[in-house]
Structure 1
């Protein structure tokens, strides 16, 4: 039986739930992106969390290559207003750039980054089914577009395209995680 790496398991989960290709292209994870909304409320590659548990910004952890590296974190909902009718794909819930990573997998200082879009907790319309809430971590490269990463984004949150934004800003996807939430 072949050994499956955590990178392969993460990619398989992202494919199974359609994150690849709905939000991102195939990629090789370079760090584990850990997201926690509190005790026993960790985001775990497609688990389900209750909407009320996710209304405050989560704690984010990942291991950086160097403590001088900067990262951008995006939280997006590709299922707005529903997965069957995603006419507002993607709904931008949170974007923070200029986050310094840590080399020892301690919580990242997200609050000290540049918040381009203020955190908005999940609010799926009642009866719209489960929504995927996707966290994407990008490493900022020496050629990253600094102005794109320092100015607040438009107030319109729907129709955001993480892939387009990160391509224009010249960012490298290094980690992803996601959960489901539903308003029954």
Structure 2
């Protein structure tokens, strides 16, 4: 039985659009390390902390947002039947007016951050943080946050 590889071609197109400036990008800091541009390699030990996210300047400050962080290459770039894997899902982000447009959420995440940890001998993985405007008419069920998630649910 063979496992079909997921089609990540749309994600590849999105990555190119991020790199060439077609799409707006989030500001991301991990500890004192600021990720200045898409494609920057970050040492694995720095990716054990929860990132701080900053909204692009043109994003409306009055909205509520959902963030999803994906590992496109799990478990290996050359063999990724599990990918993309959600490393973090958090809803109800608001843009802080006091902290350089930092995205902040008062509620716990739907899926807590799983720190970056490609297997030994694996090439560096590509991680994408996506931000979506939440529809205020579609509330997130409260029991969804209480359940937690398994690796299978994150693929």
TM-score (normalizing by structure 1): 0.63
Conservation of the 8 A alpha-carbon contact between 2:112 and 2:148: no
Following the alignment from structure 2 to structure 1, what is the Cα–Cα distance between the partners of residues 12 and 131?
A: 13
Show the counterpart of 1:77: 71
Unaligned runs of 5+ in 2: 1-6
The equivalent residue for 2:51 is 58
Alignment match of 1:155 (pick from 146, 149, 155): 149
Change beyond 3 A, Cα 1:124–1:155? same
Distance change (3 Å), C-alpha of 1:140 and 1:156: same
Q: How does 1:16-55 map to 2 (within 5 A)?
A: 21-22=10-11, 29=23, 31-42=24-35, 44-55=37-48
Following superposition, the deviation at residue 83 of structure 1 comes to 1.0
Label 1:155 to 1:43 Cα distance change in 2 as closer, same or farther (>3 A).
farther
User: More strand per residue: 1 or 2?
Assistant: 1
| Mapped partners of 1:150, 1:74: distance in 2 | 19
1:106 maps to 101
Alpha-carbon separation, structure 2, partners of 1:74 and 1:120: 12
Which residue in the other structure is 2:3 paired with?
A: none
SS of 1:131's partner is coil
RMSD: 3.0
Structure 2 distance, partners of 1:159, 1:129, is: 24
Match of 1:3 in 2: none
Aligned 8 A contact 1:80 1:91 in 2: yes
**Count, aligned residues:** 140
